[in-house]
Amino acid sequence: MLKPKTLGLWANTDKDIFWNILPEIIEWGKRKKIQIFITEKIQSNEKCNFTDIPQIDIQNKIADMDFILVLGGDGTFLSCARSVRDQDTPILGIHLGDLGFLAKVTLDDIFQRLDQVVTGDFLVEKRSMLKASINKKEKNFIFYGLNDFVVSSGESHRMLISEVFVNESRVSEYRSDGVIVSTPTGSTAYSLSSGGPIIAPNVESFVITPISAHSLTSRPLVVSNKSEIRIKFSNYNQNITLITDGQLHESVNPNHVVTITNSNFEIGLIDFKDGDYFQTLRTKMGWGTRGNGAT
């Protein structure tokens, strides 16, 4: 594994703990002769006293970075992943709270893990991303998500009738509050809370999960990630929203068709030899344990 010489810094600037740890990261970079670049959001914040640090911009692009260091939670990681997209720059996530599924390193271990990255002692785990397209009259809108896409009836809280097709085959008409299409990465997020299965990251699949289905026969469905999923809508007098990774919202006309496929690229997550996905599941969710924390 190549030893990195540059890193881009991406962060949740609303967290005071980030500003507390930032000077230590800058000093670490100087000691290790790592050139650090920061986002405009960090540099323009009134709490930032490092005006001499170069900014990630048109000249110093994400693609030029050896890796991106993300400080925040899984939500911060998701926003970074969408910006990285197909630029092949791996991401190391540092959770500013407890352990996360994407930001898997805690502050207690940050410099130990950064030292490992500098010496090339790390792995890059590839994760698939979803692509959603909506063909509106004026143009074709395209979105990318690492976790999931959700079609929802939004604030109306009315039942949404969604007709789902996989590779031209009609799957079902879901009468529900919405439908989630998730990657294995997103299977531990909204899909799981709606009754979907946990899918290991290396399983090449999508999960289609109805939200609060109005029928006992509506169940989550796992399909190949080479599938094309199309969602049409049967109730034409309400607002529908397409939500990307729980963060971006796009209004959908009931006459529109939402098409979801695999993107033609993958995101690289920096991990380590002692990393254990199932240990993370047990730690974060008590998965595989019995009552009172018994194992």
Q: Is 234 exposed, middle or buried (0-12, 13-18, 19+ CB in 10 A)?
A: exposed
Report residue 196 as tokens. 């979907």
The whole-angstrom separation of Cα 55 and Cα 295 is 47
The one-character DSSP state at 55 is B
Q: How many residues does the chain have?
A: 295
Rg from Cα positions in the chain? 21
Q: Which residues pair with 223 in a beta bridge?
A: 206
What does residue 133 show for φ and ψ, rounded to 5 degrees? -130, 140
The one-character DSSP state at 166 is E
108 Cβ contact list (under 8 Å, min separation 6) = none
| Nearest alpha carbon to residue 102 among 3, 225, 188, 213 | 188
For 128, half-sphere exposure in the C-beta direction (CA atoms, 13 angstrom radius) is 25
The whole-angstrom separation of Cα 157 and Cα 166 is 26
Cβ(105)–Cβ(72) below 8 Å: no
Q: Which residue numbers are catalytic? A: 74
Edge to edge, the sheet with strand 148-152 lists 221-224, 205-211, 178-182, 148-152, 240-244, 248-252
| Nearest alpha carbon to residue 124 among 288, 245, 221, 1 | 1
